[in-house]
Amino acid sequence: MMKADILIVDDSKDMLEVLSRQLKAKGFNTFQATNVLDAVDLLKLNIPKLLITDIQMPGVDGGKLIKYASKHFPNLPILVITGYPSIDVAVEVLQDGTIDYLTKPFTQAELYQAINKIFSDGQEETNKNEDTETISKSLPSIKGIIGQAHSLEQTFHLINRTKNNKVTVLITGESGTGKELVARAIHYEGAFKDNPFVAVNCGAIPENLLEAELFGYEKGAFTGATVAREGFFLAANSGTIFLDEIGNAPPHVQQSLLRAIQEKEIVPVGARETKKIDVRIIAATNSDLRTMVEKGTFREDLYYRLNVVNIQVPPLRNRKSDIKQLVRFFIDKHGNELGKSKVGIENEALNILKNYNWPGNIRELENIIHQSLVMCDSEIEAKHLPEYLHYLPKTTSNSRTAELKTLREAELDHIKYVLAHCNNNKTKAAEILGITRKTLAQKLQ
């Protein structure tokens, strides 16, 4: 029997450690968050079997988390633990969807009793639903990463090799393959999971602002800098910074990144003194940095500093055995939001998805499942899938007359096919492909 995942949320690291140790002793897998925002990120990555949360926490309180979880994950049981007992609070959280309520300090026996009651009550409902599920549910082997395909084995291996140290990691793969999920798995599976994780999309920040956003700036450093501000690197201190689309970093930022890696220090814009940092750097790209180095658009020394460990995330077309499980995950994720968590998928529709080559990868699959859930009632049928999936050109790899194309040519052909289907509406085409309009424009160049 697979171990159940439990997410524990408490601003006290001591309480997290005690609860985690007690639950692991009973065979549960535990994930931890010290604040509500991190807890929401973890819920989006992997829906646990139980949420245990405190109420009184700095910043966003646990009551907001309970409301969020009850709205987006209505089948997720919630156990509240609090050191500030109140009848009003108890009534409010129970109305918001909490199943049970423990007042600190509570005994280990009381904790086990509450959890056993939650799981025993939920088992009867689970058994009722098992026969109606079209696709079996399965928990990911590593947090947030759904699938068991052979092509993922090396990815899992390298995540486990890097999660407990601060070696610099470069994650490569096509757009939409889940590179940020790999970065988050490295952080949240490892020894530094209680420390900050800061994700930065280098391609989404204007080049003239990227340096200030990453390294911070002093008051008066440039027009509009009315107060000093710490950058993303200091926000991630003692934890992990994830630099997505690193190939978009301009030369002056590349130089500053090299200094941050080599000297473990940064210089805020407008400052004269350096600031020491203790940050694990994980970078990701869907560009060929080696080719960029040869063309002189990416620093060779920075490339080797980033590429200490390279994790290549396989495209979805190499993981077709995972499509069934991914579909179930996305039905659960978006079905909860739409009130359709019990929806299944017919075999014909599933076979259409398996026969498609997914140039937009997992992001495109999620987009299609989300669209199909809106259109269906109790089951996703072939007719609910986008029309272009029904008219894919039929080719056979054994045909001697079949035209052999490069991956780039095949991708471009498919993009043009989708554009034609959308009457050249680039916004709609980008949505179907699971990419941004900017990325679509780049691929058409």
Residue-level pLDDT, tens digit, the chain, 445 residues = 346 789 999 988 888 889 988 998 888 888 888 899 888 888 877 788 899 998 888 888 888 888 888 888 878 888 888 776 554 554 555 555 556 778 878 888 888 888 888 877 655 444 444 333 333 344 345 767 888 888 888 899 899 999 999 999 999 999 999 999 999 999 999 999 889 999 999 988 998 899 999 999 998 888 888 888 888 999 999 999 999 999 999 999 999 999 999 999 999 999 889 999 999 999 999 999 999 999 999 999 999 999 999 999 999 999 999 999 999 999 988 988 888 878 999 999 999 999 888 988 999 999 999 999 999 998 999 999 988 787 655 443 443 344 566 777 778 878 887 777 676 778 878 877 878 888 888 888 7
pLDDT, position 419: 78
pLDDT, position 141: 55
**215 phi and psi angles, rounded to 5 deg:** -110, -5
Element (H, E) at 313: none
DSSP lists the bridge partners of residue 332 as none
Radius of gyration from C-alpha coordinates of the chain: 24
**Domain formed by 5-130, architecture:** 3-Layer(aba) Sandwich (3.40)
Domain with CATH 3.40.50.2300 in the chain: 5-130
pLDDT, position 243: 97
Tell me if residue 67 falls in helix, strand or coil. helix
pLDDT, position 375: 92
Answer yes or no: pTM beyond 0.85.
no
Domain with CATH 1.10.10.60 in the chain: 396-445
Domain 150-312 class, CATH top level: alpha beta
Which of 150, 79, 144 has its CA nearest to residue 322?
Answer: 150
Give Cβ neighbours of residue 386 (< 8 Å, ≥ 6 apart). Answer: 368, 371, 432
User: Position 203: which residue type?
Assistant: G
Cα 195 to Cα 198: distance, rounded to the nearest angstrom: 10
Residues 148, 141 contacting (CB under 8 angstroms): yes
Cβ atoms < 10 Å from Cβ of 296: 9
Domain with CATH 3.40.50.300 in the chain: 150-312
Domain 396-445 class, CATH top level: mainly alpha
